[in-house]
Amino acid sequence: MKKIAILNGPNLDRLGKREPEIYGRATLADLEASLRTEFPNGVELEFFQSNHEGALIDRIASLADRKFDGVVINGGAFTHTSVALRDALLGAHLPTIEVHISNIYKREEFRHTSLTAPACIAVITGLGLEGYFAAVRFLLKR
């Protein structure tokens, strides 16, 4: 059985409440339930969300130590600011897909640069929550 982690960074615990015109009305709990329904067999999904950079870095190290098969990460604002998160992803040596709910290239210019993308095998942006499903599907086929 493959083990895939879904990591979410700052403010993603506010899905459904924060800027629903951009991020939609589904909550993070809704997303987790939908992913479990979509992938009931053959994969162990582990979910983690934190508003704290260090907690995400600690979790990435833990995933590497526990020999996870892949990571889906929405680093939120840390995507654009965190060299430490990038280094953690590189050091983990886990196939990682970066996901963004909105199309970051249609938003403010500072969102156009991802510091973490070079540590990932792919980036999915602008597909809404479907990006998470696409990322898990891809990791399962690897």
Distance of alpha carbon 87 from alpha carbon 107, whole angstroms: 25
Q: How many residues does the chain have?
A: 142
Closest by CA to 127, choosing from 115, 137, 113, is: 137
Instruction: Decide: helix, strand or coil at residue 42.
Output: coil
- Tell me the sheet residues that pair with 71: 5, 96
What angle do helix axes 130-141 and 28-38 make, rounded to 10 degrees?
40
Active site residues: 23, 100
- Tell me the sheet residues that pair with 100: 125
